[in-house]
């Protein structure tokens, strides 16, 4: 097709936004090919004879202009594939992966570009500040792309990377298809005894959207969570558990989405590529650009935490089993009963039901309170974009963050609700980052995506659980990290260049405000009467904060240890070895028998198709940082302006322009303290 008429290439002004409704699948590959071709041409010109006389700053600025152009073309496509997945978009997206992989590898192995940057860096000598961080990242990326390999080994690296990219995408597709591939219509409401009215409303709406009468069960997480937590029928809980934990596996009804072979192949490709680069295993390669020094340090951190957590977790499990036997007539509590028993015990122990707090968490009130919190802490305002913006779905809204003079400094798309053809989970991603070149500054733009419970057909606004509010605040924390940056080099602005095991600090930090009465009073208002959250109800909620917290952390330790052992294991000869590694971890971390049919690993997208391979420990690692960071507010005052200013300037604004450890020490005045995590988690 004629690329001149391709809207993906019509980036326009620096701060223009994509016209999502005009993006067609057939435009994607030609647009990407055109950008890659243009970028290669410019890079070859850059490393020509004249580049020797250009400064390191100027060379990096030119390279980042090319990176920015590619990101602004590719990001909308990648995002559509995640939030409005269609066969056509998926095919176009998949067709682009080998092109991107080949381009990235070629850039990382470009001897002329490597020499150009290295020479310019040597001429500067003592490189300082953000430029030092950018330069070091480039040098590390050259190493990770095999710049020092022989030509034959570089070709091998390129082939491994291309296949790995394809398989990781296929893994994610299979999870989505397997999730959407099962549903069950319930016509007898008595089968759903125990489910709260809000969950029943969601199921009825889902059925009507399919032209059905009754209540439609699906494997979308809000539905699964509601059934596994509230359904009185143990058989129904078992069915939902079985369907959910066998997705994309040999244990599901539809084997076409089985990820087993892909997982084995992904792990082996990672191992082969890591060894090709000279690393002992993939974990060593993954940690090359992280805070943690090596796999031993990570495993020591995780096993040390396990030793502190497990005794309390065993006591929590003992209480659950005792309650199940004595009160619920479940003498042999199964794993699919655990959430249900825990909810019942919580209701009895604290006279509290999660559902009863939802009327105080209506969507507009929560958003207004979140934005008010940002204003109080950092002095920035958030408002709905004044001009109409073309979005991918009617539910999506676009907001601006305004500085103290009312000038826009960032924007974000907010996509809150679960729906068909949308990837599960919650995440923040970037359309583009802050970037200054030729006296023009590109404003950062974020995508904030959740899968919260949508409004039903009752006419009520969307009402969230407290956990859903926490999820929203978490993702908004990532967004603030991306959007409030003051770094002007693209590679270190916002979350760019931040060590992966520190990137969760601002997001987990934001979760704390969902537990403080002073901040809850900003938004926890009854959707009908406008009355604030009663103190009695707040106290009930607060008492549940650490309920089963050790069991929850034990689950996170299971994921993190499995991930790290998996990526230090070496090549996998058969799928069973993956299951055996998980089984050995579970011998340390699980306190209820896990059924042999459980295939949780087959849908563990974080490590098989996301960015958390040999990095899932980051959630717990960063939680030490975030708990300790919030501790300073607890010491000085929740809205202490000096503390808020320090967090803004030393953490959020710095982005990846300096090591995360240095940023934390500048903010806290010392090294992080693991005791803050244990205290915040109620671990004694």
Q: What is the pLDDT of residues 113-139, one digit of tens each?
A: 999 999 999 988 889 999 999 999 999
- List all residues 6 or more positions away from 240 whose beta carbon is below 8 Å from its beta carbon: 217, 219, 224, 227, 228, 231, 336
Together in a domain, 225 and 129: no
Residues 213-264: tens digit of each pLDDT: 999 999 999 899 999 999 999 999 999 999 999 999 999 988 999 999 999 9
Based on the domain organization, do 96 and 47 belong to the same domain?
yes
pLDDT (0 to 100) of residue 125: 84
Whether 126 maps to a domain, the answer reads yes
User: Cα torsion at 265, 173, 176, 88 (round to 10°)?
Assistant: -170
238 lies in the same domain as 196: yes
416, 462 Cβ separation under 8 angstroms: yes
Q: Are 489 and 655 within 8 A, CB to CB?
A: no
Tokens of 499: 């060590």
190 & 131 share domain: no
Is 163 among the catalytic positions?
Answer: no
Residue 510 lies in a domain: no
Q: What is the DSSP string of 560-625?
A: HHHHHHHTTS---SSHHHHHHHHHHHHHHH-SSPPPTT--GGGG-HHHHTSS-TTTTTHHHHHHHH
In a domain, 128, yes or no: yes
**Can you give the residue range of the structural domain that contains 137?**
3-148
pLDDT given at position 267: 98
Asked, for residue 160, whether it belongs to a domain, the answer is no
Structural domain total, the chain? 2
pLDDT number for residue 483: 98
Q: Which of 355, 475, 511, 558 is catalytic?
A: 475
The 3-state DSSP class for residue 318 equals helix
DSSP structural state of residue 489: S
Asked if residue 119 and residue 34 are part of one domain, the reply reads yes
pLDDT band at 457 (very low <50, low <70, confident <90, very high): confident
Asked if the model's pLDDT at residue 13 lies above 90, the reply is no
pLDDT for residue 579: 97
Q: What is the mean pLDDT of residues 325-335?
A: 96
Instruction: Please state the rounded mean pLDDT for residues 487-511.
Output: 96
Q: What DSSP state is assigned to residue 217?
A: E
The pLDDT tens digits of the residues spanning 582-593 come to: 999 999 999 999
Closest alpha carbon to 217 in 230, 203, 196: 203
- Cα angle 621, 623, 629 (rounded to 5 degrees) comes to 120
Mean pLDDT of 19-28: 94
Which of 222, 247, 272 is the last residue in one of the domains? Answer: 247
CA dihedral (368, 371, 375, 379) in degrees, to 10, reads: -150
Tell me, yes or no, whether 106 lies in a domain. Answer: yes
Residue 51 binned pLDDT confidence (cut-offs 50, 70, 90): low
Specify whether 196 is located in the same domain as 60: no
Q: Which of 148, 163, 191 lies at the terminal end of a domain, its last residue?
A: 148
Q: Are residues 136 and 50 in the same domain?
A: yes
Give the pLDDT score at 4.
53
Q: What are the distances in angstroms from CA 72 to CA 108, 134, 194, 408? A: 20, 20, 47, 19
* 482, 469 contact by CB (below 8 A): no
pLDDT at 2 over 70: no
> What CATH code is carried by the domain that includes residue 112?
1.20.1050.40
Q: Looking at the structure, do residues 90 and 193 belong to the same domain, yes or no?
A: no
Phi-psi region of 455 (alpha: psi -120 to 50; beta: other; left: phi over 0): beta
Share of the chain above pLDDT 70, in %: 98
Q: Is residue 654 part of a domain?
A: no
In sign, the C-alpha dihedral spanning 366, 534, 629, 621 is negative
Residues 135 and 14 in one domain: yes
Residues 111 and 232 reside in one and the same domain: no
Mean pLDDT of 666-678: 94
Domain boundary among 216, 247, 278: 247
pLDDT, mean of residues 641-649: 98
Task: Compute the average pLDDT of residues 572-580.
Answer: 97
Model pTM score? 0.92
Separation CA 350–CA 424 (nearest Å): 31
In a domain, 56, yes or no: yes
Do 140 and 192 belong to one domain?
no
426, pLDDT greater than 50: yes
- Residue 242 tokens read as 């079985």
| Beta strand 427-432 pairing with 445-452 | antiparallel
624: Cα within 13 Å, side-chain hemisphere: 17
**131, 191: one domain:** no
Question: Residue 551: inside a domain, yes or no?
Answer: no
Say what the pLDDT of residue 1 is: 44
């Amino acid at each position: 097709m004629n690329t001149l008429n391709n809207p993906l290439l019509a980036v326009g002004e620096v701060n223009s936004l994509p016209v999502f409704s005009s993006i067609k699948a057939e435009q994607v590959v030609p647009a990407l090919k055109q950008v890659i071709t243009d970028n290669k041409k410019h890079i070859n010109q850059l490393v020509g004879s004249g580049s020797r006389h250009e400064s390191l700053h100027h060379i990096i600025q030119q390279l980042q202009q090319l990176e920015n152009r590619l990101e602004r073309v590719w990001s909308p496509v990648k995002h559509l594939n995640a939030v409005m997945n269609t066969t056509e978009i998926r095919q176009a997206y998949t067709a682009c992966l080998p092109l991107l992989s080949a381009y990235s590898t070629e850039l990382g192995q470009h001897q002329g570009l490597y020499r150009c940057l290295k020479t310019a860096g040597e001429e500067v000598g003592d490189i300082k500040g953000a430029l030092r961080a950018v330069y070091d990242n480039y040098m590390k990326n050259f190493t990770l792309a095999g710049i020092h390999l022989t030509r034959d080994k570089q070709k091998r690296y390129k082939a491994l990377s291309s296949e790995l990219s394809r398989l990781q995408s296929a893994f994610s597709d299979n999870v989505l298809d397997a999730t959407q591939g099962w549903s069950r219509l319930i016509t007898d409401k008595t089968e759903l005894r125990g489910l709260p009215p809000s969950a029943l409303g969601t199921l009825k709406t889902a059925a009507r959207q399919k032209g059905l009468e009754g209540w439609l069960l699906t494997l979308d997480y809000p539905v699964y969570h509601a059934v596994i937590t509230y359904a009185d029928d143990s058989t129904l809980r078992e069915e939902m558990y079985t369907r959910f934990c066998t997705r994309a596996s040999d244990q599901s009804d539809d084997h076409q989405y089985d990820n087993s072979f892909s997982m084995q192949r992904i792990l082996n490709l990672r191992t082969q590529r890591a060894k090709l680069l000279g690393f002992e295993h993939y974990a060593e390669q993954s940690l090359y650009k992280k805070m943690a020094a090596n796999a031993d340090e990570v495993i020591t951190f995780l096993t040390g935490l396990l030793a502190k957590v497990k005794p309390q977790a065993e006591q929590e499990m003992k209480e659950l089993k005792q309650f199940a036997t004595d009160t619920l007539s479940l003498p042999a509590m199964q794993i699919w009963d655990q959430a249900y028993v825990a909810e019942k015990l919580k209701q009895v122990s604290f006279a509290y039901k999660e559902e009863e707090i939802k009327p105080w968490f209506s969507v507009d009130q929560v958003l207004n309170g979140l934005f008010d919190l940002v204003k109080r802490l950092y002095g920035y305002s958030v408002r709905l974009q004044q001009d109409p913006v073309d979005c991918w779905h009617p539910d999506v809204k676009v907001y601006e963050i305004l500085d103290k003079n009312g000038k826009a400094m960032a924007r974000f798309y907010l996509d809150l609700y679960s729906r068909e053809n949308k990837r599960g989970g919650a995440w923040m991603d970037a359309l583009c980052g802050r970037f200054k070149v030729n006296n023009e500054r590109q404003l950062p733009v974020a995508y904030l995506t959740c899968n919260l419970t949508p409004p039903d057909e009752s006419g009520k606004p969307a009402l969230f659980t407290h956990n859903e509010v926490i999820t929203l605040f978490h993702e908004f924390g990532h967004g603030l990290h991306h959007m409030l940056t003051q770094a002007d080099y693209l590679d270190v602005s916002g979350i760019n260049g931040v060590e992966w095991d520190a990137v969760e600090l601002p997001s987990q930090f934001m979760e704390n405000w969902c537990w403080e009465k002073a901040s809850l009073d900003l938004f926890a208002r009854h959707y009908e009467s406008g009355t604030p959250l009663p103190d009695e109800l707040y106290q009930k909620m607060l008492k549940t904060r650490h309920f089963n917290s050790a069991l929850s952390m034990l689950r996170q330790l299971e994921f993190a240890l499995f991930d790290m052992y998996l990526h230090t294991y070496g090549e996998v000869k058969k799928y069973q070895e993956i299951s055996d590694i998980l089984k050995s971890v579970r011998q340390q971390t699980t306190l209820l028998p896990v059924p042999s049919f459980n295939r949780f690993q087959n849908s563990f997208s974080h490590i098989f198709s996301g960015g958390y391979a040999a990095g899932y420990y980051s959630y717990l690692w960063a939680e030490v940082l975030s708990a300790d960071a919030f501790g300073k507010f607890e010491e000085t005052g929740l809205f202490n302006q000096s503390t808020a200013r320090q967090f803004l300037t030393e953490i959020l604004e710095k982005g990846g322009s300096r090591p995360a450890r240095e940023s934390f020490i500048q903010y806290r005045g010392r090294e992080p303290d693991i005791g803050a995590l244990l205290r915040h988690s109620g671990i004694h």
